[in-house]
Amino acid sequence: MWTMSESDAEDQAIESEDSPENGGVPSESEVRLVHAARNGDNDAFGELVQRYERRVLKVIRRFIPDLEMATDLVQESFLRAFERMDQFDPSRRFGPWLFRLAVNLTYDHLRKVRRRGRWALFTDAGEDRAPDPAVSDPRRDLDLSQEVQVVLAEIPEAYRTVLILRDLEGFCTSDVAAVTDRSEATIRWRLAEARKMFREAWERRERRADKARLVQRDT
């Protein structure tokens, strides 16, 4: 049985001819691997894992920064893909289909955890409340990537996914459409709306931080 490789479990994009940015039809090597995997060749599926696992991890960590949790979801994504290889259309590229599985599993996980009340970061709606006077600048202890994560949390799921895949991960519009199972026109519209939402959420956060600094200065 295949296993995930142990190399480079940090945020690095896969560099291969079948990476999501390349668009179009699947390459000959991918067609060969997919055909073999669909016929029960575990080694062929293992090669697909090696091609995509780092990129899948990078994408999932855009939604879940915790490395251990994200790694578990990567493994689950490949297990799901392995179990459903007979449902995959081999005339299409493997990458977008795999990323759709990974993103859906990630959101399923976040919803379950949120229902248990243990995940406060990734909510579907932000709150524009005045800062607690006792709380200092909310951005002080966060680096830029953490601030981006917090602001992304204020964007509804459908728009957040498009923004992450298109702007942060560099997927082309056609691949975002394939991953989300939406038309390219819908993706372009959602991207424009998501960028607007992000900008407005970022500005709200800056205003809250400014208010917090003023309160601290006056106390």
Spans of all domains in the chain:
1-120, 123-219
pTM of the predicted structure, to 2 decimals: 0.75
Top CATH class of 1-120 equals: mainly alpha
Q: Is the pLDDT of residue 154 over 60?
A: yes
Provide the pLDDT for residue 148.
84
pLDDT in tens, 47-105: 999 999 999 999 999 999 899 999 999 999 999 999 999 999 988 899 999 999 999 99
DSSP output for the chain: ------S--SS----STTSGGG-SSPPHHHHHHHHHHHTT-HHHHHHHHHHHHHHHHHHHHHH---HHHHHHHHHHHHHHHHHTGGGS-TTS-HHHHHHHHHHHHHHHHHHHHHHTT---SS-SS---PPPPTTS--TTTT--HHHHHHHHHTTS-HHHHHHHIIIIIS---HHHHHHHHT--HHHHHHHHHHHHHHHHHHHHHHHHHHHHHHHHHHH-
| Rounded percentage of the chain residues whose pLDDT exceeds 70 | 76
pLDDT in tens, 191-215: 999 999 999 999 988 888 778 778 7
Provide the pLDDT for residue 27.
86
Q: Is the pLDDT of residue 143 over 90?
A: no
Domain 123-219 has CATH 1.10.10.10: yes
